[in-house]
Structure 1
Amino acid sequence: MERVGIGIIGCGNISGAYLKAMAGFDILEIRGIADLNQAAAEAKAAEFNVPVSTIDRLMREPKVEIILNLTIPRAHVEVGLKALAAGKHTYSEKPLGINFAEGKKLAEAAKKAGLRIGAAPDTFLGGGHQTSRAVVDSGALGLAVGGTASFMRPGHESWHPNPDFYYDIGGGPMLDMGPYYITDLVNLFGPVKSVAGFATMLRRERTITSEPRRGEIIQVKVPTHIAGVLSFENGAVVQVTMSFDVAGHKHVPIEIYGTEGTLLVPDPNFFKGPISLLKKGGEFEDYPVDQPYADDNYRSIGLADMAYAIRNDRPHRANGDLALHVLEVMEAFGIAAETGKTVAISTTVERPAPLSDSLVNGVLGK
């Protein structure tokens, strides 16, 4: 099968994970990597032995079919629109955009151009989450009742070398970590119908404690503790908390409740992780992960699935409709907090096809 040419724009912290994982998917051929900071592009190209390029050159290169957009969130849509205008499919880091309006603009531009868009997270394609999906689909939990989704940490200024954008417009725990949790919940339950929520911003400044900028003060411009409820079209109700203000917690990242059982789902920021199943009247027991892609960090599997989908003329899983739906849901928490009202979600989406065998034919493989 002919390989799909990839042009990478953005050489930030996440690019290394993508470049490492992309080497494991034969369908992907990196045609160049670029950044506004040419020195950063040259360093990353040398580290991973890939061609260095420029943004303009990648947009013009006929052998680049997909632009992999690893820029900061505020640039996702701007770069995506340029890629579409250049006739390229585009796949971006999460979130699709920093608000629903601009995400919708990108989605509409892609449809008008007859091109594909995709977006992270793709962790829901990992073995831990696909096994969880199989348990839900088997009916072992009975009727879907609800669940919890919890991410609560002190904040990224303790480890990230340049944490400013996490507290700028387009950042915050919901747009940063929410995509992992909400995408996985949609994978498990289907589309969200409505959202209720609250949000707080307890501190207006943060002190960086990581290197090399230890001691610098950064401004906080977005809520840093968000809590609320998702009502799904299938009737399930899930409590969600995303926070950069909490010292720590003991909640399992995702718990799924049904009339006949409860499922403890792995951390959606990772592809693997333990699963526990409680059947009504019994005790929690470890559940074997029997799906592929559960033994490593596969950040690029969504891109690889998109590449195979292009070659096989089938839908890709980490698609624009899914990313746009998740973006609208995340924004709804803020709207609900500001208005004190439950927010109806205007988009809907089909659950992505389960991944059980092969990326090649829609069911896994290289």
Structure 2
Amino acid sequence: MAIVGTGYVADLYMRSRDLHPDIQVAGAFDIRQDRLAAFCNYWNLTPFASLSDLLRALPKGGIVLNLTNPAAHHDVTRACLEADHHVYSEKPLAMELGQARELVDLARRTGKLLGGAPCSHLSEAAQTLATATRTGTCGPVRLVYAELDDGFIPQAPHQKWLSESGAPWPYENEMQTGCTLEHAGYVLTWLVAMFGSIHSITAFSAATVDKGLEPECRVPDTSIGILKFRSGPIVRLTCTIVAPHDHRVLLTGDRGTLEVRDTWDNNAKVHFRRRFVVRRRLLESPIPRRLRLAQGPAGRRAKRRGAASMDFLLGPEEMFRHLSQGGVNRCADQMALHVTEAALHLQNAGEASETYLMQTACDPVPAMEWAGSLR
């Protein structure tokens, strides 16, 4: 693979390489020469002077990781596909649904794979939760509460947040893109992988805090959505940079509840609370049962805290597996497009949104080979 964009997130992908020794990095390119030099020096990679140089050097069958700023995703991905390369793009695929559709159509016309982040639905935690829902542990899922609240970020010491090779966290770009476009996918991919297509979304989004930028940034920093899935479940999803940090997801079914405390942790525990009656009271068990897969991805666990507790290369690895072995591709363009459409609507809903009917569709994602059953 080769990397385009060597900012903050690129270090997280490179650190994940420790878990994927078979993946070779051909080199990197960035329009910021100082950042490119620092990144390549730190990771001992080949720097390319231009995007065209990188695309010419990448062997056929390789994958370009598009880790540029969201506003550049469409143009960079298009150039890579037109150069006859597969692409794995950071979220979103594009800043407009029409542009995202264009990229999917181009990939299919040229016979290239197009995958999109996030890929945490391939993690042990997500696969455990999906297996529990698929096998009916809590009964049919009726309602889901999902939170992606990151704390009061404008007051955080974000100026001190540096990546491993020294890239600053791109605060201004994050604020101008919007936290929902940046982060909602971390839950949307889990939900779409488990339940398939979203039928409709009723959402509200607004700018609620001063982000300290000039001119003032009025991009929504809070969104609240009600998502109705074609297969039945109703989901309430919140995404903010205002409310205290909370990355929980809670599924309620006929027999009880399933809960994951942090969807950003690939190794997060999955708990089941059985519902029962004591005398005249209906209760959920005060002592949850931890669910474990009968067979997990041994030796493949991200061990660091925060965002680095995610393995960012699970998606590219899945694309490489599909290229070499065939079969189902769990990181396919239909999921990336569907998640992009949902995130775009949640971000841009505004304060007087009507119910939005989704235009794209996505089938549930088959379980990983090692995630067939629970202990």
What TM-score do you get using the length of structure 1 for normalisation? 0.87
**TM-fit CA distance, 1:62:** 4.8
Aligned CA-pair RMSD: 2.1
Contact 2:220 / 2:348 at 8 angstroms: preserved in 1? Answer: no
Structure 1 portions without partners, runs of 5+: 1-5, 208-215
Match 1:184 to one of 171, 186, 190: 190
Contact 2:206 / 2:351 at 8 angstroms: preserved in 1? Answer: no
Q: How does 1:1-366 map to 2 (within 5 A)?
A: 6-54=1-49, 55-63=51-59, 65-152=62-149, 153-155=151-153, 158=156, 159=158, 160=161, 161=168, 162-168=170-176, 171-203=177-209, 205-207=210-212, 219-246=216-243, 248=244, 253-281=248-276, 282-283=284-285, 284-290=287-293, 291-292=296-297, 293-296=300-303, 297-334=310-347, 336-337=349-350, 340-357=353-370
**TM-fit CA distance, 1:350:** 1.3
- The one-character-per-residue Cα deviations of 1:193-239 (angstroms, maximum 9, x if unpaired) are 10001111123x423xxxxxxxx757314111111200001111011
Q: 1:233 to 1:122 in 2, by over 3 A?
A: same
Taking the aligned partners of 2:42 and 2:52, their CA distance within structure 1 comes to: 22
Q: What percent identity do the matched residue pairs reach? A: 23
**TM-fit CA distance, 1:335:** 5.7
Contact 2:247 / 2:264 at 8 angstroms: preserved in 1? Answer: no
Taking the aligned partners of 1:305 and 1:266, their CA distance within structure 2 comes to: 25
The amino acid of 2:133's aligned partner reads V
**TM-fit CA distance, 1:112:** 1.2
Q: 1:17 to 1:295 in 2, by over 3 A?
A: closer
Instruction: State the match for 2:165 in structure 1.
Output: none
Contact 2:26 / 2:58 at 8 angstroms: preserved in 1? Answer: no
Taking the aligned partners of 1:156 and 1:17, their CA distance within structure 2 comes to: 23
**TM-fit CA distance, 1:188:** 2.3
**TM-fit CA distance, 1:338:** 5.5
**TM-fit CA distance, 1:266:** 4.1
3-state SS of paired residue (1:29)? coil
Contact 2:178 / 2:347 at 8 angstroms: preserved in 1? Answer: no
Q: When the two structures are aligned, how many residues end up with a matched partner?
A: 341
3-state SS of paired residue (2:2)? strand
What TM-score do you get using the length of structure 2 for normalisation? 0.85
3-state SS of paired residue (2:211)? strand
The amino acid of 1:111's aligned partner reads R
**TM-fit CA distance, 1:150:** 0.9
Q: 1:129 to 1:87 in 2, by over 3 A?
A: same
Q: 1:314 to 1:245 in 2, by over 3 A?
A: same
The amino acid of 1:106's aligned partner reads L
**TM-fit CA distance, 1:58:** 1.1
**TM-fit CA distance, 1:334:** 4.8
Structure 2 portions without partners, runs of 5+: 162-167, 277-283, 304-309
Q: 1:238 to 1:71 in 2, by over 3 A?
A: same
Taking the aligned partners of 2:216 and 2:264, their CA distance within structure 1 comes to: 26
Contact 2:196 / 2:229 at 8 angstroms: preserved in 1? Answer: yes
**TM-fit CA distance, 1:77:** 1.2
Taking the aligned partners of 1:237 and 1:261, their CA distance within structure 2 comes to: 16
- The one-character-per-residue Cα deviations of 1:296-348 (angstroms, maximum 9, x if unpaired) are 34211110110111111233212211011011112223565465311111111
Contact 2:192 / 2:198 at 8 angstroms: preserved in 1? Answer: yes
Q: 1:206 to 1:340 in 2, by over 3 A?
A: closer
The amino acid of 1:342's aligned partner reads T
The amino acid of 1:351's aligned partner reads P
Taking the aligned partners of 1:219 and 1:112, their CA distance within structure 2 comes to: 42
Structure 1 stretch 229-238 or stretch 327-336: which is displaced more? 327-336
Taking the aligned partners of 2:237 and 2:73, their CA distance within structure 1 comes to: 25
**TM-fit CA distance, 1:185:** 1.2
